[in-house]
Amino acid sequence: MTCDYVAAARRHIRDAHLLQHAGRLANAGQLFGICVECALKSLLVQGGAPVDETGSLLLPYRVHMPKLETLFTQLTTLPDGRAASILQSRLPDLTALATWTIDHRYWRESAIPLSGSLQAWERAALEMDALLDEAAGGGVF
């Protein structure tokens, strides 16, 4: 399998911090959000969501925020209902990404709401990173 959501989440948060420290805040913010998305998708895979031969999620799981957040809050479609319940109870507050969109990648830098949002996006990424650690240690599923 070529798709590895955990490795992708870890790569994106590392690169986001490098960009943040280099003053490249718009791209850092984009990667914080992508880190959260990848982490969420990795948890879906661990919970039994269907994937293709590359390990990439299939529909209805192949979406971006805010649809991905909605999917988690209404999660009833994982094969293992117990896993869905445990996962929902462990998720950090995803409202920190309310001002983030995958579409920022197309926006002028001055239009991206970095002031006040970048820290929230970073916090969400750090919380998801910690949840990945917990999941790897067996504490989620």
Summarize pLDDT for 12-29 with one digit per residue, the tens: 999 999 999 999 999 999
By three-state DSSP, how is residue 3 classified? coil
d(CA 57, CA 99): 25
The tokens describing 79, both together, are 């094969």
Taking 70 as the pLDDT cut, the residues of the chain under it are 73-88, 138-141
Contact 116, 61 (CB under 8 A): no
Mean pLDDT (the chain) is: 86
Q: With CA atoms as reference, report the closest residue to 32 among 131, 85, 101.
A: 101
d(CA 125, CA 83): 22
